[in-house]
Amino acid sequence: MAKTAISSSHLEKLRQQLHDSLFLDFDEYGLQEQTTGEFNSTYLGVQLNSAFQPIYDSAAGELHGHEAFLRPSLGGELPSSPEFAFSYAEQSGKLVQFDRVSRTLHVLNFRQIYDENGLLFLNVHPKLLISVNGHGKVFERILHSNSVATDRVVIEIKEALVEQDKQLLEAIENYRDRGYKIALDNFGSDRSNIDRLWKFTPEYVKFDLSVIQAAQKNSRVHQILPALVRLVKDSGAKPIFTGIETQLQLDIAFASGGELIQGNFLGKPATADALQEKRYFPATSNRV
């Protein structure tokens, strides 16, 4: 795939769009285009980069999409965690702006690995769900300006972190009304609510990585896992096994009826530039 670096005219147009629509400024947010065509940003003293992890469809034998991850670092050298970076932004009173520039980075960099059928999975900070009417609408503008339709974007929601069903349902409905798909993330963790499968009817359910780990260590969990997969499918959602780290875990996911799979064993989060050289389905199993 050829590099897709943004031309100077497109770059100036993007600069104006960010200023007028998203209230983002190239200088204030330190947005920079690299020689690879990727973008990074320096905001609040934290350098921000995007990484993408593939999600594969084992039944179709093809790439299904990518989950975007934020890779923050201090001074561009000392790695930090997204949790620390978002917490720091919140304490600085800049949570909305920080999230906005992070998502903008992901969309701009997603252009590098843009595929006709590939989806972009994006996490949403739980505290920003209540501002979906304004925040989600603003985000649409950067998607549309880069020819990424909202139905190509899956909003990942860690439902266990939101206690009020009414608040969560309103957020989901607002996103869905704009064409986004919904994924309930970290499902199967200690704080998950199974009845939310029917209340919120998500398009995807991402099993917490503890699920596949427990199935590997505990024979009883291993035995009931196929029933859990069927339960998710019966609700109308597509289950995604995350945290696949070994061949054994991959085999367990397949044996349990899992088709969408994600994890370091299949592909670690990488820059869009690096992923351009790896657009194949990994031969890690007889079924893959």
Question: Cα(227)–Cα(233) distance, rounded to whole angstroms?
Answer: 10
- The predicted-structure confidence for 222-265, as pLDDT tens digits, reads as follows 999 999 999 999 999 999 999 999 999 999 999 999 999 999 99
Yes or no: say if 138 and 21 are a contact pair by the CB < 8 Å rule: yes
If you average pLDDT over residues 128-148, what whole number do you get?
A: 70
3-state secondary structure of 182: strand
Task: Match 């007028």 to its residue by tokens.
Answer: 20
Polymer length in residues for the chain: 288
Domain 49-275 listed as CATH 3.20.20.450: yes
Instruction: Output the CA torsion sign for 160, 165, 168, 173.
Output: positive
Yes or no: say if 14 and 31 are a contact pair by the CB < 8 Å rule: no
Task: Match 């890779």 to its residue by tokens.
Answer: 71
**Phi, psi at 59, each rounded to 5°:** -70, -40
Give the per-residue pLDDT at 37: 78
Among 3-12, 95-104, 270-279, name the most confident range: 95-104
Largest separation between any pair of C-alpha atoms in the chain? 60
Q: Which two tokens stand for residue 72?
A: 């923050």
Parallel, antiparallel, or unpaired for β 260-261 and 46-57? antiparallel
Average per-residue pLDDT for the chain: 82
Between residues 26 and 122, the one the model is more confident about = 122
Q: Residue 160 CA to chain centroid, in angstroms?
A: 17
Compute the CA torsion angle 175, 180, 186, 190 (nearest 10 deg): 30
Kindly tell me if the per-residue pLDDT of 130 is higher than 70: no
3-state secondary structure of 10: helix
Amino acid identity, position 135:
H
If you average pLDDT over residues 182-193, what whole number do you get?
A: 83
Give the per-residue pLDDT at 234: 94
Amino acid identity, position 29:
Y
Confidence tier at 181 by pLDDT (50, 70, 90) = very high
Question: Cα(103)–Cα(109) distance, rounded to whole angstroms?
Answer: 10
Yes or no: say if 188 and 211 are a contact pair by the CB < 8 Å rule: yes
Q: How far apart are the first and last CA of the chain?
A: 23
Kindly tell me if the per-residue pLDDT of 104 is higher than 80: yes
Kindly tell me if the per-residue pLDDT of 161 is higher than 80: no
Kindly tell me if the per-residue pLDDT of 160 is higher than 70: no
pTM of the model: 0.87
If you average pLDDT over residues 185-196, what whole number do you get?
A: 80
Exposed, middle or buried: residue 237 (CB in 10 Å: 0-12, 13-18, 19+)? buried
Give the per-residue pLDDT at 30: 72
